[in-house]
Chains A and B, each alone.
Chain A
Amino acid sequence: MELSILSIIYIIGSITFIAGLKMLSDPAHARKGNLIAAGGMGLAIAGTIFLYETEGEKLHNHLWIFAGLAIGGIAGALAAKKVKMTAMPEMVSLFNGMGGACAALISIVEFDRLIKHPFAVSFDAPAALSGGSIAPELISMGHVLIILLGMAIGAISFSGSMVAWAKLNGKLNDYSFKGQHFLNLFILLLIIVGIGAMVLNITGGFHVDAHIEPLSIRVVTAAWIPWLFYGILFLSLAYGIQFVLPIGGADMPVVISLLNSFTGVAAACGGFLYDNKVMLTGGILVGAAGTLLTILMCKAMNRSLINVLVGSFGGQHAAGSAGAQEHGSFKEISVSDAAVVLRYASRVMIVPGYGLAVAQAQHVCHELEKLLTDKGVEVQYAIHPVAGRMPGHMNVLLAEADVSYDKLLEMEQANELFPATDAVLVLGANDVVNPAAKSDPSSPLYGMPILDVELAKMVIVNKRSMKPGYAGIENMLFFQPKTSMLFGDAKSVLQQLVSEIKTL
């Protein structure tokens, strides 16, 4: 009876996940979708605690379970409430790492259980007494494979997410060395070989030590089994670190999305282990959706997934920036001149980037936009899909400042309008407006679709200094005759612009 109720709860849970993801795809219902999925999750968790049964036995240790839920719940809610909008990508990465670690820990415990009690089915004593190895049917290779996959993928997701979190936080810098991708491939190969070797040889890894006089039957686990298991765990953690460490800013959204789908797959492995359909549906759904999202993002940047996985961006960009040393001079523009340009333009396009997020300038930016609109200037925002540190980062940021939805143009729409635009104001964006992506085949950015701001009549670029962007690539746009540089922190520059325009 209770088990049937639990399975109904799990069905409801799975449907809420699907419906939630579906509703997240529509701005009008997105928030509701999130709440529905959260409700389904709460129901599934409560159902598991009170109704789950295994081999006729209910779960115990309720005190510990509630204590863990309370600690994690309070800490998670506080962290999520307090985090600043600009730090959102880090936070998602951090939470993702927690999920990965959770999946890896489950696999470690299940593996420990497996090697202590390798008999899922009772074995017949006479066969065991003959002293041979355990019959292969007793240990399912599929089961071992799932445990190992859950552990390895969870561990990669955990260590990778931690590195991504620390890098976005500024706690860790890009770090790459020669031959790094070969090392990465080698580690990955070792993990795969290790998993394969363990799965194929697992049945031979247990011996029965049996005596008739005095009667004793003991299962002896070969020493290589735990060694290999923890070796794979160690290599997976190392791989996660190695593969995220050299990747520069332009790839960070892709990496977080990829790690997100990894954790989904690791969670699905848990579903296999416990024959639990809600874990399976939730995990696979995220795994598939996350992979698609990752591929879409790779396409937007004209990179292949393999290329990102091996982490070759870091290796390439040293050569790219060295090649772009010869550049001309750039010209500066004063705030008052920029104010005049913007005030008397008929169409202004704002290109926001990470600099806007860092300076927390979204509200001032909205103020400037309103002011210009009131003065009869048509103002729109051109949003590059990978501007900022996450896809949609700019949309979220501008939404926080109440910028109207229809003012945000996607890349294709914006590119059509640039020739008819009088002035483009680039706020802390760099790589997404770098013309090298079109003209310089040696540039690592080559082939990435960009915002064609150079088609506009004038470009004003706000940056803090002439330092290259997050991907470490010089931007020839800054040296073009059409372009004027407006140095300073985005927030203070925008404030000055607003007060200047008010006086015009």
Chain B
Amino acid sequence: MENWLSWIYLQQEMIYIVALMILLGIEVIGRVPSVLHTPLMSGANAIHGVVIIGAIIVMGKAEPDNYLALSLGFLAIILGTLNVVGGFVVTDRMLEMFRKKKTDEKK
């Protein structure tokens, strides 16, 4: 019990952020029109690619003889970058089409 309480105490700032972000995430998405659902899902997909930062930290603090951390960390960086770069590029491609159509309307 004490173990848990001290962990919660140490992480209280993070727990605050979690609670607020849950509410914010719901609030922000609540106003998305259904036409934008696919780009939105794709954009959100790219944002959770932020996990790449964890992979960089794993790799960056791996000792030279810790082969498990080195190899898995390297793999994690490749996969995480795929998620980030691929995600943002795909989303941009989808949205590009929305914009093209917008300018057409103005003409």
Binary flags per residue of A303-338, CB closer than 8 Å to B gives 1, else 0: 000000000000000000000000000000000000
Across the interface, A284 reaches (CB within 8 A) one of B17, B57, B87, B97, namely B17
- Do the beta carbons of A395 and B35 come within 8 Å of each other? yes
Binary flags per residue of B4-18, CB closer than 8 Å to A gives 1, else 0: 101110110010011
Across the interface, B60 reaches (CB within 8 A) one of A35, A65, A203, A264, namely A65
- Do the beta carbons of A285 and B97 come within 8 Å of each other? no
Q: Which residues of B contact A142 (CB under 8 A)?
A: 3-4, 7-8, 11
Please report the C-alpha to C-alpha distance between residue A162 and residue B36 in the assembled complex, in whole angstroms. Answer: 24
Q: Looking at the assembled complex, report how far the CB atom of A300 sits from the nearest CB atom of chain B, in whole angstroms.
A: 9
Task: Tell me whether A72 and B53 are in contact in the complex, defined as CB-CB below 8 angstroms, given that A143-B7, A281-B17 are known contacts.
Answer: no
Q: Looking at the assembled complex, report how far the CB atom of B55 sits from the nearest CB atom of chain A, in whole angstroms.
A: 6
- Do the beta carbons of A98 and B61 come within 8 Å of each other? no
- Do the beta carbons of B43 and A72 come within 8 Å of each other? no
Q: Which residues of A contact B102 (CB under 8 A)?
A: 27-28, 405
- Tell me if A416 is interfacial: C-beta within 8 Å of chain B: no
Range, interface on chain B: 35 or more
Instruction: Choose the segment among A16-24, A173-181, A234-242 that binds chain B (4+ C-beta atoms closer than 8 Å).
Output: A16-24
Binary flags per residue of B57-75, CB closer than 8 Å to A gives 1, else 0: 1111110000011101111
- Tell me if A73 is interfacial: C-beta within 8 Å of chain B: yes
- Contact residues of B between 20 and 52, Cβ < 8 Å to A: 21-26, 28-52
- Tell me if A420 is interfacial: C-beta within 8 Å of chain B: no
Q: Which residues of B contact A57 (CB under 8 A)?
A: 61
Q: Which residues of A contact B78 (CB under 8 A)?
A: 68, 71-72, 75
- Contact residues of A between 13 and 50, Cβ < 8 Å to B: 13, 17-18, 20-22, 24-25, 27-28, 30-31, 33-35, 37-38, 41, 44-45, 48-49
Number of interface residues of A (CB under 8 A): 118
- Contact residues of A between 289 and 305, Cβ < 8 Å to B: 289-290, 292-293
- Do the beta carbons of A72 and B82 come within 8 Å of each other? yes
Q: Which residues of A contact B77 (CB under 8 A)?
A: 64-65, 68-69, 72, 102
Q: Which residues of A contact B80 (CB under 8 A)?
A: 72, 98-99, 102
Task: Tell me whether A268 and B18 are in contact in the complex, defined as CB-CB below 8 angstroms, given that A20-B43, A25-B28, A260-B45 are known contacts.
Answer: yes
- Do the beta carbons of A34 and B48 come within 8 Å of each other? no
CB-nearest residue of chain A relative to B17? A280
CB-nearest residue of chain A relative to B31? A25
- Tell me if A487 is interfacial: C-beta within 8 Å of chain B: no
Q: Which residues of A contact B88 (CB under 8 A)?
A: 34, 37-38, 41
Please report the C-alpha to C-alpha distance between residue A71 and residue B6 in the assembled complex, in whole angstroms. Answer: 41
Q: Looking at the assembled complex, report how far the CB atom of B43 sits from the nearest CB atom of chain A, in whole angstroms.
A: 5
Task: Tell me whether A286 and B48 are in contact in the complex, defined as CB-CB below 8 angstroms, given that A24-B40, A65-B59, A113-B69 are known contacts.
Answer: yes
Task: Tell me whether A279 and B76 are in contact in the complex, defined as CB-CB below 8 angstroms, given that A28-B102, A68-B81 are known contacts.
Answer: no
Please report the C-alpha to C-alpha distance between residue A286 and residue B44 in the assembled complex, in whole angstroms. Answer: 6
- Do the beta carbons of A48 and B53 come within 8 Å of each other? yes
Please report the C-alpha to C-alpha distance between residue A35 and residue B93 in the assembled complex, in whole angstroms. Answer: 11
Q: Which residues of A contact B36 (CB under 8 A)?
A: 24-25, 27, 30, 392, 395
Across the interface, A91 reaches (CB within 8 A) one of B24, B72, B90, namely B90
> Is the contact region of chain B dominated by helix, strand, or loop, or is it mixed?
helix
Q: Which residues of A contact B82 (CB under 8 A)?
A: 72, 75-76, 79, 95, 98
Across the interface, B25 reaches (CB within 8 A) one of A49, A54, A286, namely A286
- Do the beta carbons of A284 and B21 come within 8 Å of each other? yes
- Tell me if A414 is interfacial: C-beta within 8 Å of chain B: no
Greatest chain B CB density within 10 A among A65, A92, A112, A203 is at A92
Please report the C-alpha to C-alpha distance between residue A288 and residue B10 in the assembled complex, in whole angstroms. Answer: 24
Q: Which residues of A contact B44 (CB under 8 A)?
A: 21, 260, 264, 285-286, 289-290, 293
Please report the C-alpha to C-alpha distance between residue A36 and residue B50 in the assembled complex, in whole angstroms. Answer: 14
- Tell me if A212 is interfacial: C-beta within 8 Å of chain B: no
Binary flags per residue of A259-297, CB closer than 8 Å to B gives 1, else 0: 010011011101111111111111111111110110000
- Tell me if A184 is interfacial: C-beta within 8 Å of chain B: no
Q: Which residues of B contact A34 (CB under 8 A)?
A: 39, 43, 46, 88, 91-92, 95
Across the interface, B53 reaches (CB within 8 A) one of A58, A68, A278, namely A278
CB-nearest residue of chain A relative to B81? A72
Q: Looking at the assembled complex, report how far the CB atom of B17 sits from the nearest CB atom of chain A, in whole angstroms.
A: 6
Please report the C-alpha to C-alpha distance between residue A140 and residue B2 in the assembled complex, in whole angstroms. Answer: 10
Task: Tell me whether A41 and B86 are in contact in the complex, defined as CB-CB below 8 angstroms, given that A31-B98, A52-B57 are known contacts.
Answer: no
- Do the beta carbons of B45 and A270 come within 8 Å of each other? no
Contact surface of B with A, Cβ cutoff 8 Å: 2-4, 6-8, 10-11, 14, 17-18, 21-26, 28-62, 68-70, 72-102, 104-105
Contact surface of A with B, Cβ cutoff 8 Å: 13, 17-18, 20-22, 24-25, 27-28, 30-31, 33-35, 37-38, 41, 44-45, 48-49, 52, 54, 57-62, 64-65, 67-69, 71-73, 75-77, 79-81, 83, 88-89, 91-92, 94-96, 98-99, 101-103, 105-106, 108-110, 112-113, 136-137, 140-143, 203, 256-257, 260, 263-264, 266-268, 270-290, 292-293, 383, 385, 390-393, 395-396, 399-400, 402-405, 408, 410
- Beyond the given pairs A45-B52, A270-B53, A279-B50, 17 more chain A to chain B contacts, judged by CB atoms under 8 angstroms and listed by A's residue number, are A20-B47, A35-B92, A61-B60, A69-B77, A72-B79, A72-B80, A91-B86, A92-B90, A96-B83, A108-B72, A109-B58, A140-B7, A141-B7, A143-B7, A203-B3, A399-B101, A405-B35
Selected A-B contacts with CB under 8 Å, 20 pairs: A20-B43, A21-B43, A27-B102, A30-B39, A31-B95, A34-B43, A52-B56, A72-B77, A91-B86, A96-B83, A142-B3, A142-B7, A284-B21, A392-B39, A395-B34, A395-B36, A396-B38, A399-B98, A404-B101, A408-B35
